[in-house]
Structure 1
């Protein structure tokens, strides 16, 4: 059937508002109208995954059961052994005093050093105190953790210490997994911060909770700061709710002030003494000298970095000279700006010094570096070294991209005479504790993701760490014996560091937070965000709001739309959320969920040192000529699923540089996302492999079109520059020339892209602006899913179809006015259909006699035809390129 005929048949009524799903309209009204003043009775009817709505009234029968159980445990030998261990923790000496403070104050900040036992013990002291005083049935403790692994491991440890299996009185709930307490009260539940927001959506006053313990508040992640603002409002209405904030660093006063100068309770740590050395000491001990670089500036045009160095270090050096504490050679080295560069040679010399001085002990050495590139370079240098490359040393790189199996090696104690050297990012600062570390080398540097509101761009910056982080790094040593920390920066630089790192709320895009504010009906985004401990800039909030308006998640009055309501329920960024909604509607859910899960989790490929180019070749192989990182992911996951069916998944992952643990998480995410879509009524089955949900899953043209629609308006265009030897460059309207990241399959294929348009998931500014996760896209998806269309006649050329975006315009050739009218009609019908499906959720009706089936069969046919035409031309271009390379290799270049 022709496109024109399709549009004519659809013109009689289209997709009217009268078809809006009544059940959805009621649910939207009910949930969108909920606010923090909603009563507990209404909340009781809503399912949020907890066992049931608990009563605030005491249950004498349960109180007696809990107390009897408590007395019987003393006859358990293993239980009593664990109690002996608990008594050795510093927190134990303060247990009675602490419970008195918690009972007499609504909000308390607990400041405890690493190893004090605050995470595992405070919740138990509270529950035990309630049980022994006959009110265990009113105690329901919620403990938040910033990371999934922490929530599980701490819950399991606490259950073990209480002499019971997980899931009785102690449980956990994280994304994809939960083991909730079976008891209705007398419970401790560990959750990730995101789960708390799921509870808040359905039970805005947290009526099911008697105490909420927020652990690791010093990390200042975006969700924790958001939650603290909600809790601050909530305690004014719920005088019975106890809030406990637990921090490992010295910024407890800030949290106390935020909660109206609430009580601070300090628990000392159990660390052995750690001796600290700074750069002036390290240079004196090792005799290391820096290589002076030839300056690229004159005294009158010094770079900002050099001016800052001189202002900070020179006055301190003048004072240091008067003390006559360090040799002149050291002071001379410290005057050089190069002394603040990251110097891997200095680290290697320092490791040699440590090993020479500490010959009788094999205590582990932990080196903090800013990122993977530096970790990779130092690891290779040490492995090439005759001494460190021997069997006397185990060199272990530690980074979030390293497979979990490799990470576990860091916890294994090596045999006598062998020493571990762990080279890590700040992941080892708080997330991981390695008990046998004796020596820490702190470079004072960190790679920080930021959001620059001036250029509306995420950046990856190499920055100085904070005083708090420096203290945390020092604390990694001295857990088993006296430790040593070598800071590769001067005391002067230490004094100039920020007290703590910048909160995440000031470094991130705010779209997801704004959606949650709207979902919880907390008022205007800007108004609410000013209540946070550190309020983001007005510009950052305005950019977030505008982005959501452009996405149609908010209307111009900043109210949540039906699309915004759907997106707020999905645990991912709004663009990826829109992509999976389209994947459900266009019946290609399996590949789209693979793409979405990989974008919200981690790269499924891992890059062993020295094999990076091999990994890139495998990724390119998986892309199967599609010019798409997203399709490379889809095909790699399909291969994994097939290998798993014949129990060959381990071998498959090893051969293809795939992370098996990441792939398992991807599969779990796909199941979770499909479950969400099924509950939202967009899928007819919760099984993402169901045939009815995957009519177009093998149609690459449709899958890429849906991916492009979700990622829109993240578009870049290939331009050819240079007259004599033209070469392709990539541009975006906002940034000008950009680069595809080297890991992308498209980093070397711009010259054979038939259509000069690429969509991307993320762009980030480092040395240049990089695009991540890119796919070549055809014109039709951009035309149909983009903004307004115009038809422009150009002198001497064919007329153009022009798509106007929020930042610029894309132009495509258009044969005639009739073709343009057909495109406009098709676009209008697709928009009507999209509005209808958002307001009236339900699986797509693909029958040929339905309006939905008529429209979507026509559009998917066009997507498929356009893609196949492009593939033929690209294949021809690739053959020409390969032939040219073959000829050039056979050319005789000799005279």
Structure 2
């Protein structure tokens, strides 16, 4: 019987393994078969092949994740093979970490998959699990509100004046757990988006109006304040949506090398996206052919890049409406005075992502020359293989900030940026000056500790207080910084901090061992 075969598998690894297995067989290498892997990380060109009609006598085999349950309407699919598993993200409130694992599909998923077969002719669906397993499947997937962080939703509840957060959420059809709600509320209080009465602070009002999760919103506001708007909006858009990189099957190592090339030794996944986006904008001005060649060479999705471009425009509109910038153009020169300052960009990234901090420790393993990475709550974690920092051994500093940490087979940091001590001191948590075994130290939230002369420690602490006061004033009364007014307090404070971050960070504040609950990493 003619017709395409659609195979459902949980994730990239499974698709890659089956694809390699089929391509190792002489039969499937022939012209009688077209094998198409389908995954969100794969180039669009792969996905468009799915919709092309095959010549007579040629069978199409599509290997896909659940992306094909609803987004693939093809009349030529006659056979469906349902592997019965799906990869789903959950949020572990006890350990404050996202998790992703393959689990059994729901009955609704199974029905949807079955419906892909025989849309205009008789078809067959083969479920690779027995009747007992089928009877034990849940009716539906777990609702998204029960498996994701709730901070952004909590801000929306407050700005819409819907009452107490916990009370409102308890009335939903599928109310999230009290632990999940309280964790979100506490995070928003730590971020200074909510006060102790659970009311929106001035910062909380601005964050609630930005269509991104609160930490990314904070990064956007800092980008506007420090006049490095365009690159920060690129980072914010990619963290809110997805990065523009694609990975064709069989070309993973080449794609990794191109991504590393785009990093330009910044030791930052976030600045790598900025470099990729900037290159795309430059080639786009030279015409469609040049743009296409650039995306092909560096394994980039032009559709994703265009989406990021559109999102940046939306963010700039929000900032203009709030009074933080003078123009809706993300590239407005007045908003980008400091956009070429890499060290300042890393500081702004730190401002948004803190307290998602990891400590780098050298590894003395003879087998693999790689650094070890630790977080305060998890101990040793791994940098994800797709990060530009995964094989990096020569860092300038001992600290990373990250956005996504997820437990799969291990705990991975999916994206990270190296940051200096001054980034953490000016844009991290509360700072305090201490003595440790007769050494003067300055600490961030009492666990990130640096050795520093008392004079410099006091200077940093005083300057940090000035910055906090200035930020509060700007949040309550938004207006762009006038960098030409060199006598203004705003310009003096911001310039002093930028100068310290840019020029002084190598001269003082040596790294000191971070302390975790009274102990110290050796």
TM-score range, shorter chain: over 0.9
Task: Tell me by how many angstroms 1:694 deviates.
Answer: 0.5
Confirm or deny that 1:431 pairs with 2:431: no
Note the alpha carbon deviations across 1:709-763, whole angstroms, 9 max, x for none: 11111100012455999963111111111111011111111x3112100000110
Write the distance in 1 (CA, Å) between the matches of 2:249 and 2:26.
19
1:470 to 110, 126, 129: 110
| Aligned twin of 2:164 | 524
Q: Secondary structure at the match of 1:826?
A: helix
Return 5+ residue gaps in structure 2 as ranges.
509-522
Counting only pairs closer than 5 Å after superposition, residues 309-324 of structure 1 correspond to structure 2 as none
1:415 aligned onto 2:58: no
Query: Counterpart in 2 of 1:690?
Result: 332
**Are the aligned partners of 2:441 and 2:457 in contact in 1 as well (CA < 8 Å)?**
no
- Alignment counterpart, residue 492 of structure 1, candidates 123, 129, 132: 132
Partner SS state of residue 745, structure 1: coil
Partner of 2:441: 800
Name the structure 1 match of 2:449.
811
Rounded Cα–Cα distance in structure 2 between residues aligned with 1:370 and 1:868: 47
Structure 2 Cα separation of the partners of residues 384 and 562 of structure 1 = 61
Return the match for 2:319 from 651, 663, 677: 677
User: 1:791–1:724: structure 2 CA closer, same or farther, 3 Å change rule?
Assistant: farther
Structure 2 equivalent of residue 755 of structure 1:
397
Alignment of 1:625 onto 2:262: no
Question: In the alignment, which of 392, 400, 417 is matched to residue 775 of structure 1?
Answer: 417
Residues of 2 paired with 1:727 and 1:629: CA distance?
17
Question: C-alpha displacement at 1:869, in angstroms?
Answer: 7.3
1:508 equivalenced with 2:148 (yes/no): yes
In the alignment, the residues of structure 1 paired with residue 371 and residue 414 of structure 2 have an alpha-carbon distance, to the nearest angstrom, of 18
Q: Deviations over 1:268-302 (max 9, x none)?
A: xxxxxxxxxxxxxxxxxxxxxxxxxxxxxxxxxxx
Q: Select the residue among 732, 735, 754 that pairs with 2:375.
A: 732
Pick closer, same or farther for the CA change 1:868–1:431 going to 2, 3 Å. farther
Q: Match of 1:571, SS?
A: coil
The whole-number CA distance in structure 2 between the counterparts of 1:773 and 1:867 is: 24
Q: What's 1:98 paired with?
A: none
> CA separation of 1:678/1:731 partners in 2, compared to 1, >3 Å: closer, same or farther?
same
Superimposed CA distance per residue, residues 824-873 of structure 1 (whole angstroms, 9 cap, x where no aligned partner): 11010000000011101111121211111111111111111146779xxx
Deviation at 1:642, TM superposition (A): 0.9
- State the partner residue of 1:858: 496
Are residue 614 (structure 1) and residue 254 (structure 2) matched? Answer: yes
- Supply the distance in 2 between the matched residues of 1:853 and 1:539 (Cα, whole angstroms): 43
Alpha carbons of 1:390 and 1:860: their partners in 2 closer, same or farther (altered >3 Å)?
same
Q: Distance in 2 between the 1:408 and 1:845 partners?
A: 49
Aligned position for 1:395: 35
Aligned partner of 1:316 in structure 2 is none
The alignment partner of 2:279 has SS state of helix
Structure 1 residue ranges without an equivalent (≥5): 1-360, 871-895
Secondary structure of the residue that 1:438 maps to in structure 2?
Answer: strand
Distance (whole Å) between structure 2 residues aligned to residue 542 and residue 392 of structure 1: 58
Answering whether residue 349 of structure 2 is matched by residue 707 of structure 1, we say yes
Shift of residue 794, structure 1, vs aligned partner: 2.1
Query: How far off its partner does 1:432 sit?
Result: 2.5
Equivalent runs, 1:258-657 vs 2, <5 Å: 361-647=1-287, 648-657=290-299
The structure 2 residue matched to 1:746, chosen from 346, 369, 389, is: 389
Alpha-carbon distance in structure 1 between the residues aligned to 2:365 and 2:39 = 45
Determine the structure 2 residue equivalent to 1:822: 459
Q: Distance in 2 between matches of 1:534 and 1:615?
A: 42
* 2-structure distance, mates of 1:663, 1:770: 25
What is the CA distance between 1:775 and its match in structure 2? 0.3
For residue 375 of structure 1, give the secondary structure of its aligned residue in structure 2. helix
Q: What are the Cα deviations for residues 627-658 of structure 1, in whole angstroms up to 9, with x where unaligned?
A: 11111111111111111111111111111111
Aligned partners of 2:370 and 2:391 also within 8 Å? no
Equivalent residues of 1:403, 1:661 under 8 A apart: no
Q: Distance in 2 between matches of 1:723 and 1:612?
A: 26
- Identify if the C-alpha distance between structure 1 residues 813 and 710 changes in structure 2 by more than 3 Å, giving closer, same or farther: same
Task: Using the TM superposition, give the Cα deviation of residue 409 of structure 1 relative to its aligned residue in structure 2, in angstroms.
Answer: 1.9
Deviation at 1:578, TM superposition (A): 0.5
Q: 1:857 to 1:367 in 2, by over 3 A?
A: same
What is the alpha-carbon distance in structure 2 between the residues aligned to residue 374 and residue 432 of structure 1? 19
CA contact (8 A) 1:582 1:706 kept: yes
Alpha-carbon deviation of 1:428? 1.2
- The CA deviation at 1:670 is 1.2
Does residue 766 (structure 1) correspond to residue 408 (structure 2)? The answer is yes
1:787 matched to 2:410: no
Q: How does 1:73-222 map to 2 (within 5 A)?
A: none
Q: Is the 8 A contact 2:5 2:77 kept in 1?
A: yes
Alignment: residue pair count:
504
Q: Aligned-pair distance for 1:392?
A: 1.0
Deviation of residue 431 (structure 1)?
A: 2.8
Rounded to whole Å, the distance in 2 between the matches of 1:855 and 1:794 is 30
CA distance in structure 1 between the aligned counterparts of 2:472 and 2:481, rounded to whole angstroms: 13
Distance 2:45 2:297 in 1: 16
CA distance in 2, matches of 1:472, 1:723: 49
Task: Decide whether the 8 Å contact of 1:457 with 1:764 is kept in 2.
Answer: yes
TM-score by length of 1: 0.55
The residue aligned with 1:661 is: 303
Instruction: Check the 8 A contact 2:146/2:176 in 1, yes or no.
Output: yes
Q: Quick one: which of 477, 486, 501 aligns to 1:848? A: 486
Measure the CA separation in 1 of the matches of 2:501 and 2:365: 34
Q: Would the aligned equivalents of 1:580 and 1:596 in 2 still touch at CA under 8 Å? A: yes
The CA deviation at 1:403 is 2.9
Write the distance in 2 (CA, Å) between the matches of 1:730 and 1:799. 26
Q: CA contact under 8 A between 1:701 and 1:868: conserved in structure 2?
A: no
Which is further off, 757-766 or 522-531?
Answer: 522-531
CA contact (8 A) 1:701 1:866 kept: no
Q: 1:866 to 1:409 in 2, by over 3 A?
A: farther
CA distance in 1, matches of 2:80, 2:89: 24
CA 1:869–1:693 in 2, change beyond 3 Å: closer, same or farther? Answer: farther
Q: Residue 406 of structure 1: CA displacement?
A: 2.6
